[in-house]
Structures are given as structure tokens and as C-alpha cells.
Amino acid sequence: LAKTTQPPSMEAYEGQEVNVSCSHTNIATSEYIYWYRQVPHQGPQFIIQGYKDYVVNEVASLFISADRKLSTLSLPWVSLRDAAVYYCIVTGPGTGSNRLTFGKGTKFSLIP
Amino acid sequence: GPKVLQIPSHQIIDMGQMVTLNCDPVSNHLYFYWYKQILGQQMEFLVNFYNGKVMEKSKLFKDQFSVERPDGSYFTLKIQPTALEDSAVYFCASSPGTGNTGQLYFGEGSKLTVL
């Protein structure tokens, strides 16, 4: 399973766009990139997944570099409900494992 | 969206007692998981379960831990006997098990306090 590296924390003002980066230099060709977030006192929630290029849904967008070693989760117009820990996870079929391995994630906070 | 329900939301027990945490996974999901999270720390994988069997387990899944899902009922995590270090929030998750292997649905957790 590819290891991921994220910034430990980020801050922004309400209404700004926030970009959370994730490095996965050893990503395998069979692996996908998943993003989850966890707000206090709740379980992680799936946000978005991608394999290459650009993916967008109603919550966020995901840009994946051409070599797939870096991905960036973009949250438009952040509000209080976006304050959470964001996890980037790389996994896929053929890894021999069906588990998700969570790192320390990126803690995103709003600047008062 | 699909929801995973966990019961109880919080349980306080004395060390050495048995505890059973219950999980009602998303209907038609085939894979089930338990994770452990100590306050302020990372989510740690415990075990996953498919077709009535444990598929993978981590070192945290001690001999005192067991999981089962009798037909059509809750997916349970039993700890017997409990220890102080078992105090944590336990999250259950489920996934369809086919295709999108990385998309899990998590419950809101069961907080276990061992005194």
C-alpha cells in the first residue's frame, strides 16, 4: 500500500477555497486515491475518489498530477461544516488487502 | 445516503467485564470492518469480515476480541475480558465489496470507557 504525506494542519477564512495536498510517490498502477473527512464525534465520511486527471462532485474536486504522485483536494467556499480532519488514502484491488489505512490527516480549521 | 448504525453510542464498564458492540451495516453490503480510535489519535484498523469469516486482522485485534455476524443480524465486536487500554471509540464500517474497494461507510462510533 502506498504511503501518503499530507500537511498536518491548514487554516482559512470562511468563503475561501481550500486546497489540501497529498503526496503518494509510491502509488501503484492498480491503486486509486480516496479522500475522507472526519468531524469531531463522528466516523470518517467518504468525499471523493480518483485515478487520474480531474474529478469533481457536489462536495469537492480532486486534481491528480500526470505522474499520479500528487493529488490535491479542493474545497470551494469553505464554511464551518468543513472544519474536519481530511485523510488521503491510496488503495486498490490487487493490493492483497481490503483495509483502509488512515494516517494523521490534515486538520482544517476556520480562522475566526 | 446509506447509513451504518452503531449501538450503543457510549458504554461504561468495569475492567474484566465483557462488552459487545453492535453494528447494523448498510443493507446489501458484504464487507464489514471495525476500527479503533483513541481520543486525539489516528484511526486504527482492527479487523475486516466477509462471508462469515475474518479476512484480515491487525495486531490490535487481541485474543480477547472476537467478531461475528449471525445471519441477518448485527455485526458485533465482543471484548472479553476488557482492559483499561480498550477504552476508545470503536467505529464500524461496511462496503459493497465489489468494484469500489476504497469506499467505506462508517457509523458514528461506540465510545467504550473501561474503568
Q: What is the DSSP string of B16-68?
A: T--EEEEEE--TT--EEEEEEE-TTS-EEEEEEEETTEEEEE-TTS-TTEEEE
Q: Which of B2, B29, B3, B19 minimizes the C-alpha distance to B86?
A: B19
Higher pLDDT, B2 or B82: B82
| B92/chain A closest Cα distance in angstroms | 9
State the average pLDDT for chain B.
Answer: 93
pLDDT of B100: 60
Encode pLDDT of B77-113 as tens digits. 999 999 999 999 999 999 987 656 788 999 999 999 9
pLDDT of residue A100: 87
H or E, element range at A34: strand A32-38
B65 has a chain A CB within 8 A of its CB = no
Stretch A50-56: mean pLDDT, rounded? 95
Residues A59, A82 contacting (CB under 8 angstroms) = no
Measured between beta carbons, the chain B residues lying within 8 angstroms of A101 are 45
Cell 485515478, residue?
Answer: A51
Residue with cell 458492540: B21
Q: How confident is the model over A58-70, as pLDDT tens digits?
A: 999 999 999 999 9
- Measure B43 CA to nearest chain A CA, in Å: 6
Q: What share of chain A in percent tops pLDDT 70?
A: 94
pLDDT of residue B70: 86
Query: DSSP state, A5?
Result: B
Q: What is the DSSP letter of A58?
A: S
Range name among A29-33, A97-101, B95-99, B107-111 with the lowest pLDDT average = B95-99
Please say whether the beta carbons of B40 and B58 come within 8 A: no
Strands B110-114 and B10-13: parallel
CA–CA separation, B18 and A55 (whole Å): 46
